[in-house]
Amino acid sequence: MSAVAKLLAQKEQLLARLEADPGPNESIEIQALLAKIETALKLLGDHDSAAAGTDK
């Protein structure tokens, strides 16, 4: 499984946890993890674009 696929799977799981109406502390933790995943996905996307010689 690629890094992007793993991150997308983690993101999906975290979004499902958010829909389950977690407490405020857990919700904050989930939001922070989602932000990290989004950053990683963006960096990986930028890296893939640079490797392919294209701009996003």
Q: What is the pLDDT of residues 1-56, one digit of tens each?
A: 799 999 999 999 999 999 999 999 999 999 999 999 999 999 998 776 666 665 54
The single-letter code of the amino acid at 28 is: I
Which pLDDT does position 56 carry in this prediction?
46
Model pTM score: 0.79
Q: 7-44 burial, b if ≥16 CB within 10 A, otherwise e?
A: beeebeebeebeeeeeeeeeeeebeeebeebeebeeee
> Which domain covers residue 38, as residue numbers?
3-52
Q: Any idea which residue has 């799977």 for tokens?
A: 9
pLDDT at residue 52, rounded to an integer: 65
Alpha-carbon span 41 to 5, nearest angstrom: 10
Show the CA angle centred on residue 7, arms to residues 10 and 27, nearest 5°: 40
As for how many domains the chain has, the answer is 1
User: Residue 22 has which token pair?
Assistant: 């977690």
